A and B are shown apart, each in its own frame.
Chain A
């Protein structure tokens, strides 16, 4: 019954490493999102995509990039990881529903620690 799958539950990386976080959804959703969650700050949007090969910046895109080569897959890339990118990363997908609603379905999250 898994619908949004994030490739890694826990990752530990070193400063300066390139990090890939993968997200796959099997619901044929058009929209995909990457959020990061930090204590006291809620969820903040990093990037989102409404179509293949399309991406838009969210509220905190600095230090991140994304790739969407296929409809079902949305990758978050940290080109050079830094300690302030230690966080929980959450992927979500949605599709316009009745009345234009976009009800999000989330993956289980990827907890990244950068040493």
Chain B
């Protein structure tokens, strides 16, 4: 099956810093989503972005489908950004999402 690799696995930032999270995938995809899981376990969809660039406030995401990677940018980080960020993809032949193992982000005050 498709492999989804996220980097870095762990990231610690001071409040106000910027960061870039990366998601590499091993096959072509028709669906790519980024999620944030807060410290209480709730997963929230951040972006649906199979290609191109989207922005939502301090967060933005870019997917370069031809090169099989996606980036999530967090600017001016806040403590509430802490949690695990997951990338999930749907390969061309499938119908369900496959998740990466996540990036654990800790933002210190």
Contact = CB atoms under 8 A, between A and B. Distances in A.
A112 to B, nearest CB: 13
Interface in A56-77: 58-59
Contacts, number: 56
A83 interface: no
Interface stretch (B12-20, B60-68, B70-78, B92-100): B92-100
Interface of A: 33, 35, 40-45, 48, 50, 58-59, 88, 90, 92, 100-106, 108-109, 111
Contacts of A92: 43
Interface residues of B, number: 25
Interface string B72-109: 00000000000000101010000111111110000000
Contacts of B43: 90, 92, 104, 106, 109
B102 A42 contact: yes
A101 B99 contact: no
Closest 10 CB pairs of A and B: A106-B43, A42-B101, A43-B99, A42-B99, A109-B41, A103-B48, A101-B48, A108-B42, A48-B96, A103-B45
B100 to A, nearest CB: 6
A101 B29 CA distance: 12
B52 to A, nearest CB: 12
Max chain B CB contacts within 10 Å: which of A42, A45, A50, A100? Answer: A42
